[in-house]
Amino acid sequence: MTTLSRREREFAARERCILDHARELVREVGFLNLQMAELARRAEYATGTLYHHFRCKEDILFRLASEGIELRSQFFERVARWDACSRDRMAGMGYADWLLVNAHPDHFRIEQLAKAVDIWDRATPEVREAMMNKGEGCGNAILSVVSDAISEGDLEPGTRSPQQVSFSFWTMSSGTHTVTHAAGILERFEMRDPYVILARNYQVMLNGLRWKPLQDAEDDTALYAFFDRLHAEVFPDHQPAHRSHRDVSGDTQ
């Protein structure tokens, strides 16, 4: 039993090692340029060994994507459990996404590529399924906030299902990632700080939904105060994604 368990530990450690090197390689050269032979060389195993852990190259990508999604899920769940009003917790989801981009700048690329139909089809169904299960955590965290808002009377459900409300915020976040990471678009559009705009958009959307307490979506002082509070209370163990408001105020000169 000890023996078996030691074997299992070694196996897991090797897998970890491969995934770490893979992540690094993806960051350096991109997934399509990642060569299995080079990955094996860096991890100091033979090419064939990789295939004991992963059925194909795409499965490695999906495993990396899963890790990022799991992290996001954890971020979202922290925010969902935050001791704050439902509106602030929903607004916090946008910030959590920003935090994830800071912590794993390459995660979005990985997830984007994994979800591109072309790659999607090449991965093993089980590995895809595992990734989607991690994703469910994100969806549930957001849904729980919407449900709370309705039951606490902060949000009139109207003709919208909680899923539809979640979907709205989800599309804003997802779209912000896409547009932000598409090379050259922000520069051409003279945009900076897209995630601050995302946070503002959350406020605009929340107001549009009449999600109480209503708030002035133009008030940057309040927005940065919100960032500060959220960060201090929910993510004290992470680097803040935003600069302090004082820095931003002095920005124009």
Partner DNA sequence: TGGTTAAATGAATCACGTTCAAATATAGAA
Partner DNA sequence: TTCTATATTTGAACGTGATTCATTTAACCA
Q: Which residues form the interface with DNA (CB under 7 A)? A: 3, 6-7, 10-11, 14, 33-37, 45-49, 51-52, 56-58
One-letter identity of residue 96: A
* Residue 206 binds which of DNA, its own copies, none (CB < 5-8 A, kind-dependent): its own copies
**Cα separation of 185 and 181, whole Å?**
8
Nearer to DNA, 46 or 232 (CB): 46
Nearer to its own copies, 47 or 178 (CB): 178
CA distance 40 to 33: 14
Least Å from the CB of residue 85 to DNA: 49
Classified as helix, coil or strand, 155 is: coil
At CA 238, angle to CA 234 and CA 239, rounded to 5? Answer: 125
Q: Reduced to 3 states, what is the DSSP secondary structure of residue 236? A: coil
Q: Which does 82 bind (CB under 5 to 8 A by kind): its own copies, DNA, none?
A: none
Q: How far is 212 from 194, CA to CA, in rounded Å?
A: 25
Binding site for its own copies (CB under 8 A): 30-33, 109, 112-113, 115-122, 132, 135-136, 139, 158-161, 163-164, 166-168, 170-176, 178-179, 181-185, 188-191, 194, 197-198, 200-201, 203-209, 217-218, 220
Q: Which does 175 bind (CB under 5 to 8 A by kind): its own copies, DNA, none?
A: its own copies
11 binding partner (options its own copies, DNA, none; Cβ < 5 to 8 Å by kind): DNA
* Residue spans of beta strands (DSSP E) within the chain: none
Structure tokens at 43: 């991890």
